[in-house]
């Protein structure tokens, strides 16, 4: 064990026997030069400097530039300060308000997006017939890119597509899944959930692995129904897993819907499926309004900051409970 011998101090507190081999603490500290203590004091700063500088130069500085840029004008007013004009325009734009409203809708739909993988993971854990097959089948969509998923569902959900054909055979009148403003957002979110729940399912299954099966057996012996088992045993024991899935699903919904929206609806119909990201992209790329897009980015950043802080609090609290 040459390594361990080279750093005896690491093990110092561990075993009483090794204490004899070491000089007393005071003696150990005294021969160290004063310079060394300063080096030691500076060492952490030096060590985090690369990370800190990278964050500062490549994250925070551009962020400041972007925020600053959002207070300048577009087009003819390029480079001149315009105060909060961009923000006023932004909140006066019904399209941006729709986009913000859709963020709220996503938050409201979050429980559904978490419940689906949770429920399916429960079934797999309870070994319903064919659970091995389902485990891989459920995960499969998670490996597809949003563009491919979007293209597949564009075909399936087309007005003259197979889903509507099946509905009409069942005597239900066809639904314009991606052309009806009241339906389109739900259709896209549904597809997003379908495409991403595999990952959450895996996390749930990992959570189940830590579940004490004796508790389940005890509940069964007591004659508890499936619903009661889920409510009184599984959910309380998986609180941390559920919270974690909530946080990651939220992040996924707020940050990675762009590809699907782009392919499936292009923000339409009637602008009903706009999200802030898509709005930013349209303003910057199509409308040539980079400063307005900056303002929208700043608003999105603030929203994400608030959501992020809430999530950190949530996770910390969950950690403390444990």
Nearer to other proteins, 17 or 41 (CB): 41
Of 12, 66, 134, 303, the one binding other proteins (CB under 8 A) is 66
CA 85 to chain centroid, in Å, comes to: 32
Q: Which stretch binds other proteins (CB under 8 A): 32-40, 108-116, 223-231, 287-295?
A: 287-295
By C-beta, is 66 or 308 nearer to other proteins? 66
Q: How far is the CB of 237 from other proteins (least distance, A)?
A: 44
Is-contact 291 70, C-beta < 8 A? yes
Stretch that binds other proteins, among 4-12, 141-149, 172-180, 243-251 (CB under 8 A): 172-180
Which part of the chain contacts other proteins (CB under 8 A), choosing from 191-199, 226-234, 264-272, 298-306? Answer: 264-272
If the CB atoms of residues 198 and 276 are measured against other proteins, the closer one turns out to be 276
Please, which residues bridge with residue 72 across strands?
A: 81
Q: Distance (Å, rounded) from C-alpha 271 to C-alpha 189?
A: 15
Stretch that binds other proteins, among 19-27, 29-37, 122-130, 260-268 (CB under 8 A): 260-268
Which of the stretches 204-212, 231-239, 265-273, 303-311 binds other proteins when contact is defined by CB under 8 A?
Answer: 265-273
Q: Write each residue from 23 to 62 as x if it is in contact with other proteins (CB under 8 A), else as -, in one continuous string.
A: --------------------------------------x-
What does the DSSP 8-state code read for residue 175? Answer: -
Shortest Å, Cβ 72 to other proteins: 4
> Judged by CB under 8 A, does residue 72 bind other proteins?
yes
Residue 259 in contact with other proteins, rule: CB under 8 A: no
Residue 179, interface with other proteins (CB under 8 A)?
yes
Tokens 């891989």 found at = 136
| Of 139 and 186, CB closest to other proteins | 186
> 319, 300, 321, 311: which is closest to 99 by C-alpha?
300
Using CB under 8 A as the binding rule, whether residue 286 contacts other proteins is answered as yes
Grouping H, G, I as helix, E, B as strand and the rest as coil, residue 72 is strand
Angle between helices 94-125 and 239-255 (to 10 degrees): 140
Six-digit token pair at 291? 């400063």
> CA 241 to CA 115: how far, in whole Å?
12
Q: E-strand spans in the chain?
A: none
- Nearest to 254, CA basis, from 102, 50, 73, 118: 102
Chain Cα centroid distance, residue 127: 29
What is the smallest separation between the CB atom of 144 and other proteins, expressed in angstroms? 20
User: Taking a C-beta distance cutoff of 8 angstroms, is the pair 278, 261 a contact?
Assistant: yes
> For residue 219, how far is the Cα from the chain centroid?
34
Question: In the structure encoding, which two tokens stand for residue 98, read together?
Answer: 């729709």
Interface of this chain with other proteins, residues 193 to 252, rule: CB under 8 A: none
State the residues that interact with other proteins by CB under 8 A: 61, 64-66, 68-69, 72, 75, 78-80, 95, 154, 157-160, 174, 176-181, 184, 265-266, 268-271, 281-282, 284-288, 290-291, 294
């Amino acid at each position: 064990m040459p390594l361990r011998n080279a750093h005896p101090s690491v093990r110092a507190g561990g075993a009483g026997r090794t204490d004899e081999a070491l000089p007393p603490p005071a003696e150990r500290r005294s021969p160290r030069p004063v310079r060394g203590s300063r080096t030691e004091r500076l060492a952490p700063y030096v060590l985090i400097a690369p990370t800190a500088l990278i964050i500062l130069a490549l994250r925070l500085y551009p962020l400041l530039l972007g925020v600053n840029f959002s207070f300048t004008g577009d087009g003819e007013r390029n480079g001149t300060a315009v105060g909060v004009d961009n923000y006023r325009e932004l909140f006066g734009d019904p399209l941006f308000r729709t986009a913000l409203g859709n963020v709220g809708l996503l938050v409201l739909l979050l429980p559904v997006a978490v419940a689906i993988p949770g429920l399916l993971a429960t079934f797999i854990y309870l070994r319903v017939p064919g659970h091995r097959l389902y485990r891989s089948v459920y995960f499969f969509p998670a490996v597809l890119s949003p563009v491919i998923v979007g293209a597949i569902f564009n075909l399936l959900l087309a007005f003259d597509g197979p889903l509507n054909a099946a509905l009409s055979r069942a005597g239900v009148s066809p639904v314009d899944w991606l052309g009806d403003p009241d339906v389109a957002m739900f259709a896209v979110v549904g597809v997003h959930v379908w495409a991403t729940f595999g990952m959450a399912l895996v996390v749930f299954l990992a959570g189940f692995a830590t579940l004490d099966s004796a508790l389940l057996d005890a509940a069964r012996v007591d004659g508890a129904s499936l619903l009661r088992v889920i409510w009184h045993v599984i959910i309380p024991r998986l609180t941390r897993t559920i919270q974690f899935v909530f946080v990651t699903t939220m992040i996924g919904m707020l940050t990675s819907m762009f590809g699907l929206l782009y392919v499936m609806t292009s923000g339409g119909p009637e602008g009903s499926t706009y999200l802030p990201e898509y709005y930013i992209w349209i303003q910057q790329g199509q409308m040539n309004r980079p400063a307005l897009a900056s303002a929208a980015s700043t608003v999105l950043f603030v929203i994400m900051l608030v959501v992020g802080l809430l999530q950190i609090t949530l996770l910390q609290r969950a950690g403390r409970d444990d």
